[in-house]
Structure formats: structure tokens, C-alpha cells
Chains A and B, each alone.
Chain A
Amino acid sequence: MKNHAQLSQEFNANEPRVNWHDETLWWVRQKRDKAANTLPEWEQLREAASSIKYHTLSNLNDYLQQFEANAEQNGVTVHWAADAKEHNEIVHRILAAEGVNRIVKSKSMLTEECHLNPYLAEKGIDVIDTDLGERIVQLADEPPSHIVLPCIHKKKEEIGELFHEHLGTAKGEADPQVLTAAARVHLREKFLTRRAAITGVNFAIAETGEFVVCTNEGNADMGAHLADVHIACMGIEKLIPQRRHLSIYLRLLARSATGQPVTTYSSHFRRPRAGQQMHIVLVDNGRSTQLGREEFRNSLKCIRCGACMNTCPVYRRSGGHSYHTAIAGPIGAILAPNLDMKQYADLPFASTLCGSCSNVCPVKIDIHDQLYKWRQVLMKDGQGGAAKGLSMKAMNFTLSSPGVYRTAGKAGRWFLRNVPFVVNNPLNPWYKQRDMPEAPKQSFGEWYQQNRKK
């Protein structure tokens, strides 16, 4: 199992590609800034969004039951899944009961988190992802590398190659317009022939029992309105108390994600249409545990806009797949250790703690503080790894004795000046993608001794 550092090293092997990835995401981040700056009330909106989410979490037990009662009154069947396995079993059970073995699915990071696609494949059910980016990574047999831009790591030529192989487009065709048109034809056929559709949920409203799905492509709607069975899968943290609160979140979501004033479609599903079955699966999968971790519970406010990824200097240069979890980037790095501290111990360390993620977060999650706090929890739990443990011990020894500290500093400066090849070589991890500093003639201590009397 490779960790974040090893996986980013692979991503970094191709320098022009890393630069391209970096610049593309930074461009999206700039679009976000422009959109946010058009609203003078942006900061008040963030504050309100954060506060409503916190209130909801503090009363989640009641709101969940209120939502369930209202949804059932609307004619929707509500299911509860304690973990990923139960979620997948419930979905399969619904499909099996209807004798459905081919389905369409719109983007849902929850089903990625639960590994629903491979589970259903094993049961003989064919799943077609209908978001264009997700369909592309599905054809490439890869997971999404970004929650909003699933194939942001792929070049159009690579996508052209995939489409040539799977959809029969011309060899060498790489024009986004032509490729999208081919996907439109390919996916329309799926929408029209599949009897069941799975969608995610962006927001669910306790007061009315309805849920909202936001897309730019319209794929969730094409799937759901043509299918006999609509299954919506949601994490229990997606709830908000009242319908009017949507105004705040819909104003923040797309502006933060892509810089658009709103997604093309913000669809409110309340009742199944005549003759249709509608199911909602409420999934815990570690969320109630995170709710109990005081320092990390704010992470449950996340509305999955991806702004923290687009701005993160580490994400932009290491790629989404280096995070080896469904949700990459800064927010993923605080969600994943909650699920498995051992497996994801590397992720909170994959950050510069620059705070850019917290600054852009539309619901004001203290992301970089949580990354810092996770490091402490993980080190205490013995998940830091031997090298990190040893170097921290050496650091502790050096810093607690002024004599040792002075000698070490002197030795370091001498080596840098006289035998630079001892540190300027690939064995030194600090030398990777970075020049070592020029050694000063004297330390601050020496300078101070010399100048204090002047």
C-alpha cells in the first residue's frame, strides 16, 4: 500500500503535467474568487451557512426523524445504513426486488466512498456513471480524482483515445465539443433504456422531507425522471432544517465550486411521480463517530464544493489519486482518518498548513486546524511511522539542550558550505523539488553575541 508521499512522487515524475494540473485548478480557484467577490454579503453568507450546519448537527437526532417522517408521508421509502456494506446491500436488495440488472447513476461521492460500483458489478449489475467526467474515469477503470471535476487529471487526447476504444469516435479526435457530443448520444441511449437510477443528494430538508440534487449536465434528472425506480443515497450530515435555508447554500455551492452563479439544475425531489418508486438511503458510515469527536465534528458541515482542493498547493501538485481515498484534498484528509486511522495516517501530513483551504471554505470549516490536530492525535496513537517518531526524538534532544543545538547548527552550516553534496543529493528528502538554502556565515546567536553591546 503506497502512501501519499510515494503516490505524489509518481505524479511528479511528469513535470509539465504537474504544472498543467496546478494551473488548471488555480484557474478554477480564480473563478471562485471572482464569483465570491460579486457578493458584498459573502462573509455573512458563510457565517450563516456554518451556523445553520452546526445547529443541525447539534439537533441531528430530531432532524433525522423529522425528515424520515415527512419523506415517508410524501410516499418515499426511507432506509437506514450503519455502514458502507449495509448501504450496498440495501441498494442491491431494492434492485433485485425489481429484477433490475442495468442501472444509470449520477454523481455521488457517497457511493464512491462505499465502493458501490464494484459491489454491484460482483452481483451482476451493470452500472453506468452518467456524469461525463465520471463516465470517462469509469471507462479508464479509475476512481474520480476530484469530487467536482472527476477527470481533471486527464488530457483531452487521453479521453479521445478512451472514446475511440469504447464509443467508436475517430482515432486522434480530441476536440471537447466532438467528444461531448459522442458521449451525449452514448448516454442518451442508457437513460432511455435503464429502469433504475441512483442519484446522490446535495441537501435534504427536515421540514418538508424533500431533497435537492444539483448538476450542470442534467444527468441526475434524465436518469431519475425516466426510471421506474429512483434511489437517492445520502450521508446523514446532508440535512438542513428548512427549505428557505437552501437559499444560502445554493448561493454558496456553485460559486465556491466552479465560479458559476448557480448550477444549471437545482432539482427538488419531494414525491415520486405517478407509478414511480422513490427510495432514500440514509448512511452513517462513521459520521456519528466524527460527530462525537469534538475537534473534528465541524468537518461534517462540508457541502462538497471542492474549493479547498482547488486552492490547496499540495493537492494541485500531487493529484487527487495520491490521497487514496474517495474524497481527496484537504477535506478528504480530515474525513478519512475518522474511518480508518491506520490506513489514512499519512493524509493529515499532506498539507503545508497554509490555511488557504479554511479561507475559501463556504461553511467555514477550520480545515487546516483540524489537519494539525489530526497529526497530534495520530502521533499519540503511534501512527506517525518510525522515521517520523525517531526524527521527532532527535529534534527534541537537540532543541532541549542549547549546547547541542549550537553545535548542530554549526555542523549544518559547515556541511552546507564545504561539502554540499552531503545534503544536496536524492537521499535527502528535503532536497526533492527544492534547493537547499545557502548557509549564513554565522548563526543568529553568534550575531547577537557580537552586536549586543554596540
Chain B
Amino acid sequence: MKMPTPDAAIVARRREIADHLQRLLAPESVIASDEERRVYESDGLTAYRQPPLIAVLPSSTAEVSAVLAYCQVEGIKIVPRGAGTSLSGGALPLADAITLGLGKLNRVLEIDLPNRTVTVQPGVTNLGITRAVEHAGFYYAPDPSSQIACTIGGNIAENSGGVHCLKYGLTTNNVLGLEFVLMNGEVVRLGGKHLDAGGYDLMGVLTGSEGLLGVVTEVTVRVLPKPSHLKAMMIGFPTSEQAGECVARVIAGGIIPAGMEMMDKPAIHAAEAFVHVGYPLDVGALLIIELDGPECEIDAYMVRIEAIAGECSAVSCRVSRSEAERLGFWAGRKAAFPAVGRISPDYYCMDGTIPRRRLAEVLARMEALSAQYGLKVANVFHAGDGNLHPLILYDANQPGELERCEEFGAEILKLCVEVGGVLTGEHGVGVEKRDLMPAMFDEHDLDHQMRLKCAFDPDHLLNPGKVFPQLRRCAELGRMHVHHGELPFPDLERF
């Protein structure tokens, strides 16, 4: 993985920069010692490590603004960081960049239940939002598996989702207002407690921008009343293809469950060995379907789903009879990653989305690739929306195996694009999939995205080296190429 060459002059100024930052923030909020910087050297993508130039931990929007304004003037790069759970290396530090940790901004600012909104600072965890309102029967719907740890700021940067996104949408569908700081230190507010902010939808653009456009310092999300009932069913199939067919037919039948997750045989075995919740071990694929709403609705849909599953050759079907049993069904799915971690020295979690009906074909080709690369794969899927998480099992201590694993992973993602899908469904591009972007986007596509970056951050100081294979200079990107006769350069506003 090639990161931009560190600016030696900046690295040499570490002490001086730290001293200056200590005047902008409380001294203990500036972390410059070798030992302490190492705490920040990687995120959830632990294959890459790099201690930051300095880490700073601001405790207010004003402090964030002061740090960014200073860095803009000095030409110092910034890497925003929430909880560091990114699986695509989004928060991976750079040797010549300041890591801006937002963990101290962790207050719930306002709970407004009549308007069904909660306003928080970016360092509040995803689950923290639900915790703040559950006493009144509300919850925050997007639920990444990392929800205990990951921050809402990171969720916005990654547009995170979880099992509930099928019905309730991703982060982008649940955010109403934002405050963010531009690289030049300007503080901008978007939206509020109302719908459809007006003007260009910059809130939509910031969501999923992986920390490249601005630093989020305050967030207003909507919260939903908890459904009156929840039930899950667990259906076993001989093959993943049949489970996939069942998913397609349930949706075509007009049912949008609250969640629909699938595991293949290796994943089921790993999970059962880890959590012992009674998963059937004699099936090729397991589908967990959760329904929410009034009990009569859940029961009616369950009857329909059972019939559809039967048509798709299901061999077992269990419906949760208690809350404990429902949570049990999920326990294995939620622990699937660590469970796989126990059966292999290392694993690499991929993340791509495909049109659901291409599932059988993609699985078959993945099996062929698995044989070709000599590496096993376990699969967990967000089946309802075609989001695959192949876990490639490898051993980092075997020379060359990591590289082989990465190549295999890249092949899988390119396959996703080839069948009409995308490179990443929820983990983001980060550094991980950066060099694959041309598999999905041509030069014009990337140029239009990069120009947007230039409108926010013309010097490319915010989180460089992420998302785009190579950043072109903004001045160069600003040129017009008109094919009917040469035009003089337009009088572009300079910024």
C-alpha cells in the first residue's frame, strides 16, 4: 500500500508544531511522545500501522476550528479519528499528519422526544444514542456491529449501517442536522431538527465522505419509537443458493423484514463453536430473518415466509419464542467475525455489494478463486441488501500469504463490480480499496468527485491518501476541456 511520501520538513518540525498546538488546546490534549502516539498507529484494519506526527484531542468545536485553521496556514495534514474501528483504514495515520481524535467530544447535547431528535457531539457512540433515549421507548436505528465502540462522527464519515438498514436505512437516511468544520477553520451548520435542509444537500455529501471534506463536530439524528414486538426466525437450507433464492422471493412477495442475514457453512460452524446457541450444523446456509411491528403482522408474515422457504427447499425453521431466544439467534451472527478469528490465525473481512440475484454465480466464482489462491473463505451476508462479507482465512506468519490474501480480496471486489455491484457496501474505500476505484469509476467520474473535494479542501490537507488512487492538483482539475474549439481558461474563482 503506497501512501503519499511524508513531508520531511513537516516531520522535522514535530516539536515546534506540538508546542504551538499546546497553546491552542489544553497541554494534556496534545500527544507527541513516541510511546503515546503508538496508541493511534492503526484502526480496525490492523494490517497497516503508522504512528501519527502528533495526536490532538480537542474538547470543543472552537478547538477543532483553531487546530484546522492553524494546519491550513502551515500546510499540515489532518486525519480525523473517532473510535478507530474503521475496517478500511480510514483513520490510518500518516507520518506527517496530525491525528485529530474526537473522543473527548462525547456529550449528549439535547434530547427532544416530541420532535423525535437527539443532538450529540461526534464522539458519542452509536449505542450511546440509543442508551440516551431507550428509557422513553425510542432507539437510533442504524446499528453497525461495532455499535458499542464506534462513534456517530465515524458513522457519518462512513455512512455506516447494520442489520436494520434494509428497513430503516443507513446513517444518511437518519441524520437531520450537522455542524462541521472546514479545513480553513470555518464552522458550517447544515439542517437542524427539520427535514430536507434546503440548498445543495451537503449533509448527504458529507455523509460517507470518509473524513475528506470536513470534521463533524455536532450531529442531530432522528430516533424512532421501538417496535412493539420483535421476533426472529432461523431457517436452514442445503445450499447458499437456495437461501439466496428465498431472500429474493420474500422481497418480491412484498415483505421488507427488519433484518435478513445469511451465513454459509464455515461461518455457521465457527459461530456455533464460539457461542453455542444451537445453530444447525447439518445445513449449507442459515438465514436469520427478523420482523418487527404488531404481533399479528409478524405472525402473518412468518406464515408467508415459512411457505416461501418451503418452496426453496428449506430443511429447518425455528421461530423465537422468547426475547432470550431471539437474542440467541443473533448472538452467533453478531459474533461471526471473532468466531472465525478463532479458527484461523488471521482473517481478512471483505465488503462488497452485488445485485441479490447474482448471488449463486458470485458464490460459485468465489469458490473457484478460493481454490486458485489456496485460501479458505467463510461468508456472512447482509442478505436483504446483497452486501457480502467474505472472510478470507490466512496466516500472516506464512511468507507471502497476506499478499495472496489481498490479491484474492481484490478479485472478489472486482467481481462484485463486474456483476453490477459496488466495491464497498458499508466499510468504505479508505486506503484498502483506494486503488480499486478505477474498477468502478472512469476518469470523468473520479474527476467530478475530486473537484468536489477541491471545493471543500483545495490543498488536500484532510485525510489525504484515502479514497482516491491519486489526488490531482485542484488547479489542474479545474480546467475545462471543451471539444468544440479551444477556450481560454475560465475566470475561476480562486480559493
A pairs with B: no
Interface residues in chain B, defined as those with a beta carbon under 8 Å from any beta carbon in chain A: none
Interface residues in chain A, defined as those with a beta carbon under 8 Å from any beta carbon in chain B: none
